C-alpha cells in the first residue's frame, strides 16, 4: 500500500520528458534494472530538479551534490523536515510503524549531538584501528573462502552476506550463533525504514525486527554494564571522555546504525565489485596480472556502482541554490549514483576502467557525515583472494 498523498503515475499517463517521482525510485522497473540512463536524462535536463510527486529537491550533478553534502547549514535531523516532505515521510512512517529507534543514531543527528556521539563511535574506524583489524579480517575472508568448494555458488548467500556480519559482530562482541539473526534483522529494518513507498508488510516486518533488535541490545548492554569487555559496546558504556555519558537509547542507536548501514552497504559493495569485474573480463584479467591496481580498482567500483545511491538533507532556512528557490523544512535528495556518473567529473563515466586516473566519487558522502566505514572495506582482500585463485 502506497501513502495516499503520493501522486503516482498511472499506466495511461504519457512518460514525461524529464523523469520524476516514482520514475526516480526502484519502484520503476527501468530504474531498478539500470538507473544510470534515467539519472543521466534528468541531469542533462535539470541538475537540480524539483520532484513534486515525492516532495523533494533531487540533485544529480557532481559539484552540486558535493556542495550539498558539505553545506554546514543543512540538517540531517529528520525532525526538521516538513511532515509532507520526502524526508518527513520517512520520519512519519518510522513513528507510525514503531521504528523510531532507527533514527536515534549519528546518521540523523546535527552538532553538537553528532560531534559528541561520533567522537566516540569513530575510534574503532580510524585508519590505524582498521589497519590493526586487517589480519583478523583476512582470516575471516580465508575462512569463508575455504567453505566455497562447489564450482558454482551464490556469492551473496555464501560470502558477501556473511562477511560484514562477521566483522561487525566481532567489533560488537556478538556471539557467532546469532549472526544470521543479526543479518535478517538488518535487512528487514532497512526495507521497512528507508523506502517511503514501502508495502505495509515491509513496515510490519521492519517493526518486528526493530523491536527484537532493541530487546536483544538491552540485554547485551545490561550484561556489559555489569561485566565490560573489549568490544565496542563496552567502550561506549565505559567511555569517560563523553559528557554526559551515553544512555542505553544512544548506545542502541549507534549499534543499530553499525548493523544496518555497515552490513548492507558492505555486502552490496562486494557484490557490485565482483559483478563489474565479471562483466568486464578484460578488467578482471588486468587486475589479476597486476595486483597493484587493487586500490584504484576499489575506487572505480565505488564510482561505477556505489552501494549507497543517495542521501538526504533538510533545509533549516530559505535559500537559493543554483537558481532554485528552496524553503525551510524542504527535503533535498542528492543522487550519489547520478553524481558519480556525471561526465563533468569523470570522462566516459559509463565505462568501467580500473586504470582510470583521478577517480572522483561521492560514495562515502562528505562533510561532517563522511561515512565512518570509509576505511573499513574488505573488497581489496576479497578481490585479491578471488583474483589469485
Phi/psi at 359 (5° precision) = -65, 125
Calpha distance 178→142 (Å, rounded): 21
Q: Tens of pLDDT along the chain (389 residues)?
A: 333 333 434 433 444 589 999 999 988 999 999 999 999 999 999 999 999 999 999 999 999 999 999 999 999 998 999 999 999 887 776 666 555 665 667 888 899 888 888 877 777 777 787 788 889 889 999 999 999 999 899 999 999 988 988 888 888 888 888 888 878 888 787 776 665 555 677 778 888 888 888 898 899 999 999 999 888 888 888 876 667 778 888 888 888 888 777 788 888 999 999 999 999 999 999 999 999 999 999 999 999 999 999 999 999 999 999 999 999 999 999 999 999 999 999 999 999 999 999 999 999 998 888 887 776 654 444 444 444 33
Calpha distance 137→241 (Å, rounded): 29
CA-CA-CA-CA torsion sign (181, 182, 185, 186): negative
Calpha distance 255→235 (Å, rounded): 12
Calpha distance 36→30 (Å, rounded): 10
Specify the pTM.
Answer: 0.85
Domains of the chain, start order: 21-387 (1.10.630.10)
Calpha distance 203→2 (Å, rounded): 11
Q: Give pLDDT, residue 196.
A: 55
Q: What would the DSSP string read from start to end of 202-248?
A: HHHHHHHHHHHHHHHHHHHHHHHHHS--SSHHHHHHH-SSSSSPPPH
> Bridge-partner residues for 332, per DSSP?
57, 313
CB 235 within 8 A of CB 87: no
Q: Give pLDDT, residue 102.
A: 59
Greatest alpha-carbon span in the chain: 63
CB 192 within 8 A of CB 203: yes
Q: What share of the chain is helix, strand, coil (3-state, %, to 5)?
A: 60, 5, 35
Amino acid at each position: 500500500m502506497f501513502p495516499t498523498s503520493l501522486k503516482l503515475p498511472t499506466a495511461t499517463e504519457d512518460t514525461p520528458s524529464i523523469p520524476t517521482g516514482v520514475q526516480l525510485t526502484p519502484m520503476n522497473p527501468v530504474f531498478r534494472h539500470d538507473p544510470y540512463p534515467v539519472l543521466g536524462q534528468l541531469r542533462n535536463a535539470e541538475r537540480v530538479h524539483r520532484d513534486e510527486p515525492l516532495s523533494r529537491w533531487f540533485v544529480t550533478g557532481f559539484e552540486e551534490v558535493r556542495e550539498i553534502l558539505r553545506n554546514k547549514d543543512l540538517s540531517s535531523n529528520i525532525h526538521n523536515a516538513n511532515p509532507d516532505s520526502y524526508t518527513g515521510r520517512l520520519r512519519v512512517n518510522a513513528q507510525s510503524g514503531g521504528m523510531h529507534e532507527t533514527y536515534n543514531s549519528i546518521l540523523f543527528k546535527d552538532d553538537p549531538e553528532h560531534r559528541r556521539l561520533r567522537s566516540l563511535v569513530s575510534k574503532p574506524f580510524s585508519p590505524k584501528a582498521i589497519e590493526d583489524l586487517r589480519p583478523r579480517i583476512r582470516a575471516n575472508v580465508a575462512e569463508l573462502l575455504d567453505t566455497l568448494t562447489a564450482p558454482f555458488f551464490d556469492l551473496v548467500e555464501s560470502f558477501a552476506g556473511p562477511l560484514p556480519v562477521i566483522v561487525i559482530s566481532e567489533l560488537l562482541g556478538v556471539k557467532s550463533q546469532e549472526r544470521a539473526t543479526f543479518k535478517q534483522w538488518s535487512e528487514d529494518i532497512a526495507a521497512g525504514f528507508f523506502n517511503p513507498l514501502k508495502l505495509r508488510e515491509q513496515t510490519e516486518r521492519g517493526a518486528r525486527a526493530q523491536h527484537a533488535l532493541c530487546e536483544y541490545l538491552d540485554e547485551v548492554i545490561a550484561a556489559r554494564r555489569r561485566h565490560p569487555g573489549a568490544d565496542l559496546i563496552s567502550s561506549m558504556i565505559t567511555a569517560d571522555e563523553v559528557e554526559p555519558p551515553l544512555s542505553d537509547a544512544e548506545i542502541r542507536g549507534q549499534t543499530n546504525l553499525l548493523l544496518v548501514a555497515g552490513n548492507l552497504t558492505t555486502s552490496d559493495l562486494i557484490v557490485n565489485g565482483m559483478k563489474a569485474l565479471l562483466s568486464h573480463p578484460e578488467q578482471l584479467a588486468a587486475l589479476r596480472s597486476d595486483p597493484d591496481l587493487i586500490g584504484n580498482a576499489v575506487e572505480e567500483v565505488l564510482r561505477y556502482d556505489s552501494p549507497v545511491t543517495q542521501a538526504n538533507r533538510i533545509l533549516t532556512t530559505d535559500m537559493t541554490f543554483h537558481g532554485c528557490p528552496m524553503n525551510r523544512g524542504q527535503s533535498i535528495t542528492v543522487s550519489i549514483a547520478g553524481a558519480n556518473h556525471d561526465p563533468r567529473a569523470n570522462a566516459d563515466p559509463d565505462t568501467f576502467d580500473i586504470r582510470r586516473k583521478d577517480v572522483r566519487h561521492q560514495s562515502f558522502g562528505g562533510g561532517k557525515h563522511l561515512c565512518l566505514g570509509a576505511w573499513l572495506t574488505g573488497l581489496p582482500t576479497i578481490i585479491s583472494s578471488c583474483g589469485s585463485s
